[in-house]
Amino acid sequence: MTELLLQALYSGLLQGGAYALIALGLALVFGTMKIINLAHGELVLMAAYVAYAAESALGWHPLAAIVLALPATGLTAAGMHWTVSRIRADREINSLLLTFGFAVVLTNGFLMLWSADVHSTSSAWLQDALVLGPLYSMHSEALSFAISLALLAGLWWWLARSWHGRALRAVAANRDCAMLMGIAPGRTELLSFVLAGALAAFAGVALYCHGVIQPALGGALTVKAFIITVLAGLGSIPGVLAAAILLGICEALTVTLASSALQELTGMVLFLVVLFVLPNGLFGTARRRG
């Protein structure tokens, strides 16, 4: 039993790291612009498909595909920002609906380009086992976790130390004041979108390496990312990692102790419980209403 539990915790940890990478971009944009990008999952999926195209058509190692994925998602994200900034009235709901429309466009775009077939990497090393005592995982999962930690740490440092990072936090805290301080909010928001796109690129390539992709996956990714963003609470990067790992571990424990049929239920129930008990998320700062 302990062996089962240990493996469940370990699996959950690694899966949580992967989730965190997917959620990070969404959390960043949400924190900065108070906008949920409902097409974020599709950005991640785009990068995954780029990795697939690189591996199958060009014969590259999927990890090398990040070079192609970054411009792809970055440009798409910039495009999304441009359209979102065109919205004049009711930004909260209209941006939700606009990005929702993008999600539908992208999902069907993938369907038309790559058909409904499922794909994943065929690289042997990525699928081989990494055994640490009684704990098992695939190389790709451990690598994904490491990349996730590295990017999270990098982002956290950047937000705390660099000028642009602090400008981003300023805009997130109070847009008008930031403008008074000489920060161009439009450009900062564009930066946050592009950054989210870049993070999505890493998440997508990692997803292709350890998971199976198909066009319909985008929506599920967005929902997961949003659940984690809410769990974490606004404005907390380490919170995203903690929330993601919490979700991963809860899912793995549900599967081990109860049944795999209930794994998705865990996320939903956890989401609701946290929302009702801690409306600001686990680590979020309380916001004034209105």
Partner 1 sequence: MALRNHSGVIASLAALAALLLAWGGNPYIMSITIAALMTGGVALAWALLGNLGGMVSFGHAAFVGAGAYVSALCTLRLGVPVPVGIVLGALGAALSAIVMLPALRLRGPYFALAILAYAHIFRIAATEWTSVTRGAAGLSAIPALPVLPGLDAKASACLLAGLLVLGFALAYRAIRASHAGLALRAMHDSEDATRVLGVNSTLLKGLMLLVSSAMAGAIGAFNAHYIGFLEPDYAFGAMWVTLPIVAAIFGGYRTLAGPVIGALVVSLADQLLFKEWLPIGHQFLLGVLLVAMILAHPSGLLPLAGNVLRRLRPGGNGKGGGHA
Partner 2 sequence: MIQRRDFHRPVRRAALAAALAASCLSLAPAFAAEFLVGAELPLTGALARVGNGMHEGVHVAAEVFNKANGRHKIRLVSIDDESTPAKAIAAVEKLASQGVLAITGGYGSNNIAPAAEAANRLNLVYMTSGGVDDSLVSAGRKNFFRINNTAGYERAVLGLIGDMGAKSVSIVYSTKDATTDLALSVQKALAASGVRAEAHSFDPAITDFKPVINKIRLQDRPDVILMAGYENDYVGILRAARVLKPPVKAMVGVWSLATPKMAAEFPDLMPHVYGTALLPFPATFETADGKAFSDAYRQLYRKEADYLGQFGYVQGMLLFEAIARAFDKGTLAKGGIADELRKTDRDTLIGRVQFAANGDNPHFVHRMGQHQDKKIVIVWPKQYATGPKVYPGVPW
Residues near partner 2, by CB under 8 A: 3-4, 7-8, 11, 15, 108, 111, 115-120, 122, 124, 127-129, 136-138, 211-212, 214, 216, 220, 252, 255-256, 259-265
Going by C-alpha positions, the residue among 6, 65, 3, 28 that lies closest to residue 207 is 65
- From the list partner 2, partner 1, none, which binds 285 (C-beta under 5 to 8 Å, kind-based)? none
Q: Are 50 and 106 in contact (CB under 8 A)?
A: no
- From the list partner 2, partner 1, none, which binds 11 (C-beta under 5 to 8 Å, kind-based)? partner 2
Of 89 and 124, nearer to partner 1 (C-beta) is: 89
- From the list partner 2, partner 1, none, which binds 85 (C-beta under 5 to 8 Å, kind-based)? none
Smallest gap from residue 15 Cβ to partner 1 (A): 18
Task: Please state, in angstroms and rounded to a whole number, the distance separating the CA atoms of residues 238 and 287.
Answer: 19
Tokens of residue 58, six digits? 């060009």
Of 103 and 152, nearer to partner 1 (C-beta) is: 103
Q: Which amino acid is at 235?
A: G
- Give the Cβ contact number of residue 97 at 10 Å: 12
- From the list partner 2, partner 1, none, which binds 256 (C-beta under 5 to 8 Å, kind-based)? partner 2
Smallest gap from residue 82 Cβ to partner 1 (A): 10
Smallest gap from residue 66 Cβ to partner 2 (A): 21
Tokens of residue 198, six digits? 């870049």
Tokens of residue 63, six digits? 């990890």
- From the list partner 2, partner 1, none, which binds 117 (C-beta under 5 to 8 Å, kind-based)? partner 2
Smallest gap from residue 286 Cβ to partner 1 (A): 12
Going by C-alpha positions, the residue among 245, 239, 256, 267 that lies closest to residue 27 is 239
Of 262 and 272, nearer to partner 2 (C-beta) is: 262
Q: Are 99 and 92 in contact (CB under 8 A)?
A: no
Of 115 and 174, nearer to partner 2 (C-beta) is: 115
Of 115 and 285, nearer to partner 2 (C-beta) is: 115
Tokens of residue 38, six digits? 């409902």
Q: Which residues have CB under 8 Å from 122's CB, separation 6+? A: 55
φ, ψ for residue 66 (rounded to 5)? -60, -30
Smallest gap from residue 210 Cβ to partner 2 (A): 8
Of 3 and 176, nearer to partner 2 (C-beta) is: 3
Of 50 and 103, nearer to partner 1 (C-beta) is: 103
Task: Please state, in angstroms and rounded to a whole number, the distance separating the CA atoms of residues 139 and 156.
Answer: 26
Task: Please state, in angstroms and rounded to a whole number, the distance separating the CA atoms of residues 278 and 276.
Answer: 6
> Which secondary-structure segment (H or E) carries 138?
strand 135-138
- Name the site residues for partner 1 (rule: CB under 8 A): 36, 83, 86-87, 89-90, 92-94, 96-98, 100-109, 111-112, 219, 223, 226-227, 230, 261-262, 264-265, 268-269, 271-272, 275-276, 279, 289-290
Task: Please state, in angstroms and rounded to a whole number, the distance separating the CA atoms of residues 178 and 77.
Answer: 23
